[in-house]
Amino acid sequence: MNTRREFLGALGLSGGLLLLAEQLGQTSALAMDRGEGGGPPGQYELPPLPYDYDALEPHIDGQTMRIHHDLHHKGYTDGLNKALASLSAARESGDFGNIQNLSRLLAFHAGGYVNHNIFWKNMAPASKGGGGKPDGKLAADLQRDFGGYDKFQAHFTAAATAVEGNGWGVLAYHRDLRRLMVFAMLNQQMQVPVGTVPLLLCDVWEHAYYLKYQNRRADYIKAWWNVVNWKDVSERYYAATA
Ligand code: MN
């Protein structure tokens, strides 16, 4: 991305060093969020949940987790593979008559695939470290950029609760501006500031909470804080800022 290259260039990196810095950034993100199973080139697999379906109860119920992972996330996985295959076929045939729709499908399903890969790992049962507050560098930089954990949490909760329709609450690191940011991501990919690396995602699509919480999204988000895996969020932050 041009802004990133310009930013790295401004730091005095050029040529091979610049390329290396870009590749390191891309490699760490891919290694972290790509499906565990691999698969043939260009094919992505649904990664398994890192815990049992009911491990996050009572905050998130097992039936919701089963449907959310096995059906919704599977749908995004299949949709991503299909969009990539359709784009490959378009390049082979030279027929780009459907390119606008294919571009939209690629963005939507790539977002849905990666967002959920992150979301599952962003959560953990209390027995495996879920809940509490972050510490170390992340805690210090939440203080720097938001005025403390409580202000960050209130900001994130407000952004996630206020999403109109489908979307996500997001804590991200902006690599070019070098600061943490909270924002609402609409659908699976929209209204995202260019240059951000997601660290913590809260799915506020109705499929994430409706069976247990019905229309009470605020109650779901309040409960969701009890299962946030700050160790995972911190590891993403270290990788993004390395
Ligand atoms: Mn979802």
Q: Does residue 3 surpass a pLDDT of 90? A: no
Ligand 1 centroid – CA 237 distance (Å): 22
Say how many Å lie between the CA of residue 100 and the centre of ligand 1. Answer: 24
- Cα gap 102→99, rounded to integer Å: 5
Res. 32 pLDDT band, cuts 50 70 90: very low
Span from the CA of 119 to the centroid of ligand 1 (angstroms): 9
The neighbour count for residue 191, using CB atoms within 10 Å, is: 12
Ligand 1: distance of its center to the CA of 72 in Å?
6
Who surrounds ion ligand 1 at CB < 5 A?
Answer: 203, 205
Per-residue confidence (pLDDT) for residue 139, from 0 to 100: 98
C-alpha of residue 203 to centroid of ligand 1, in Å? 6
| Range in 9-13, 50-54, 135-139 with the lowest mean pLDDT | 9-13
CB contact at 8 A, 236 and 199: yes
What residues does each domain of the chain span?
1-29, 62-121, 126-241
Cα(91) to centroid of ligand 1, in Å?
A: 31
Q: Please provide the CATH number assigned to the domain covering 126-241.
A: 3.55.40.20
CA 20 to centroid of ligand 1, rounded, Å: 34
pLDDT digits 0-9 by tens, 106-144: 999 999 999 999 999 999 999 999 999 999 999 999 999
- What separation in Å is there between the alpha carbon of 207 and the centre of ligand 1? 6
Q: Which CATH architecture has domain 62-121?
A: Orthogonal Bundle (1.10)
Q: For the segment 171-188, what is each residue's pLDDT rounded down to a tens digit?
A: 999 999 999 999 999 999
C-alpha to C-alpha distance for 241 and 4, rounded to whole angstroms: 13
Quickly tell me which residue has 């987790």 as its tokens.
65
